[in-house]
Amino acid sequence: MSLGDKFCGVILAAGVGARIQPLSFDTPKPLLPVCNKPIMQHQIEELRALGIRDFYVVVGHLKERIIETFGDGSSLGVNITYVEQKAPLGIAHAVAQLERHVTRPFVMYLGDIFLVLHDLEQTLRSFLLSRAGAVLTVRREEDPELIKRNFAVIIDEYDRVTRVIEKPRHARSNLKGCGLYVFDLAIFDAIRRTPRTAMRDEYEITTAVQILIDDGHPTYCAEIVDWDMNVTYPHDLVVCNLRRLLSYPESSCVGREVLLHPQASIENSVLGDGVVIENGIRIADSVILPHSVVSARDDLRGVLITPGAMFQCPPQAVGVR
């Protein structure tokens, strides 16, 4: 059974990314690079490896940049249809824009989430066999603050989800919802009955999922997330890159047409295309975005450098290993 015949892919890429400014002034978050590939490209390739070829991308903020980057998807061996969300009214509202287009179950990524997964294929096959309404990917977290910033997932003795709580005041579960979902088409009916929340005046996907559950659609969680990051602040991008480097045969990832000073050393870092390192310094645990010129005379560690700015990461951020 080909999963490409049973599922399509959805990526929500309409957000503004206010907290990661100035990076998001001219680059939508799904285009921010992890080891010199946009986050969204990693997501597409993950699903393409399972045979999924048809994608729907919800765009809004800087939509032209995303469309210019990926076009119709043919360069990645997929088909991409773009759907615009004209107002930033929440995740459920973004999904609602797809109802006229999507005709089969779909795997949905939030476009600013970087995930390290295992067993996604088995999760999708189990979804089909169980006739589920939804599957929520989760990760067990010992730190309740991480759950409070996302959403909590509560399950019964049969591992069915009974409740989802957006940004709970108290973490009643150690299962944190992550930014990857699998939905049956029933989610669209649930979204039509989803009210705006008082907390953020948006249409929350967790509210829609709870309606789906209350309607009796079997909803399960899948503990297939080994690592996750919602790219919210500049240093989060460094953390994602360092985590991705763990799977690379070399200790660093260096782009094309990079000019290095003969005495410069690069350790556990990512350099984008066209980067120039002018002096013989040591650069470690850092990310230098394309076409940046580094003229520093002192060694650098745990920094994000763009063509116009440099951000120092908190010390704990570079301990991702």
- pLDDT tens for the chain, 321 residues: list them: 689 999 999 999 999 877 888 887 889 999 999 999 999 999 999 999 999 999 999 999 999 999 999 999 999 999 999 999 999 999 999 999 999 999 999 999 999 999 999 999 999 999 999 999 999 999 999 998 998 988 999 999 888 999 999 999 888 899 999 999 999 999 999 999 999 987 778 999 999 999 999 999 999 999 999 999 999 999 999 999 999 999 988 889 999 999 999 999 999 999 999 999 999 999 999 999 999 999 999 999 999 999 999 999 988 777 654
- Other Cβ atoms less than 10 A from the Cβ of 293: the count is 13
Per-residue CA distances from 65 to 119, 167, 276 (Å): 32, 31, 25
Q: Write out the two tokens for 107.
A: 């795997």
8, 83 Cβ separation under 8 angstroms: no
Residues in contact with 81: Cβ distance below 8 Å, sequence separation at least 6, in sequence order: 54, 55, 56, 57, 101
What is the SS3 assignment for 159-173? CEEEEEEECCCCCCC
Q: In terms of residues, how long is the chain?
A: 321
223, 140 Cβ separation under 8 angstroms: yes
Per-residue CA distances from 112 to 68, 100, 259 (Å): 18, 24, 30
- Other Cβ atoms less than 10 A from the Cβ of 37: the count is 14
Q: Write out the two tokens for 21.
A: 């400014």
User: Can you tell me the distance from the alpha carbon of 95 to that of 187, in angstroms, rounded to the nearest whole number?
Assistant: 9
User: Strand pairing partners for 181?
Assistant: 108, 136
pLDDT at 319 (0 to 100): 64
Is residue 5 classed as helix, strand or coil in its secondary structure?
Answer: helix
pLDDT at 25 (0 to 100): 84
- Other Cβ atoms less than 10 A from the Cβ of 279: the count is 13
Q: Write out the two tokens for 199.
A: 């907390």
pLDDT at 127 (0 to 100): 97
Residues in contact with 39: Cβ distance below 8 Å, sequence separation at least 6, in sequence order: 29, 30, 31, 32, 33, 111, 112, 113, 114, 231, 240
pLDDT at 2 (0 to 100): 85
pLDDT at 84 (0 to 100): 98
H or E element at residue 178: strand 175-183
Domains of the chain (ranges, CATH numbers): 3-230 (3.90.550.10), 235-319 (no CATH)
pLDDT at 250 (0 to 100): 84
